[in-house]
Amino acid sequence: MQEEKLSADIENIVKKWEGKKGSLIMILHDIQNLYGYVPRSTSLQLSKYMDVPLARIYEVITFYHFFKLEPPGKHLVQVCMGTACYLKGASDLLLELRNILGVNEGCTSNDGLFHLEVVRCLGCCGLAPVVKIDEKVYSKVTKDRIADILAEYEEEAVAK
């Protein structure tokens, strides 16, 4: 990231939330929305702009599971583990995704293409088990379909 652009981005975000209660969390949300994660360099800049110890910033980032310290994969893969999905085999889907992607939940595949997450409920209980990739929901997913679903995104990446 270019340092000048980074500084300008952080300065604009801090100004937007200046003087408002709970601004640190809102600023961190804006940073993550902008970059997809909270880069270390932005935390250092933020510490200077807000006159907040870096330890305090990391305390907030690491407390909330929403914040990421590493760049996420290009595609977010979410496995629903809500009751309906779990009872219909979502844990098998998660195991298959772990095996194919070579990562545990909360991690990004080595090629940077997929970031695997477990979510508690996607609100699609009638379609269980459900896997969501980016904004697309796959319903009644079986372990045998996982490789084909991922292949759609891999082929797209190769085509670009």
Q: How many residues does the chain have?
A: 160
State the sign of the Cα–Cα–Cα–Cα dihedral 78, 151, 95, 74.
negative
Digit-coded pLDDT (tens) for 10-23:
889 999 998 888 89
Here the tokens at position 91 are: 């844990």
Phi, psi of 52, rounded to the nearest 5 degrees: -120, 135
| Residue type present at position 145 | R
Alpha carbon of residue 136 to chain centroid: 15
CA distance 101 to 98: 5
- Of 3.40.30.10, 2.60.40.10, 3.30.565.10, 3.50.50.60, the CATH number of 75-159 is 3.40.30.10
Residue 53 β-bridge partners:
none
On whether the CB atoms of residues 45 and 27 are closer than 8 A, the answer is no
- Helical (H) or strand (E) element with 112: none
Digit-coded pLDDT (tens) for 78-125:
999 999 999 999 999 999 999 999 999 988 999 999 999 999 999 999
Digit-coded pLDDT (tens) for 33-83:
998 899 988 999 999 989 999 999 999 999 987 898 888 889 999 999 999
CA distance 53 to 119: 32
| Nearest to 106, CA basis, from 134, 133, 76 | 76
Q: What residue segments make up the domains of the chain, in order of their start?
A: 3-63, 75-159
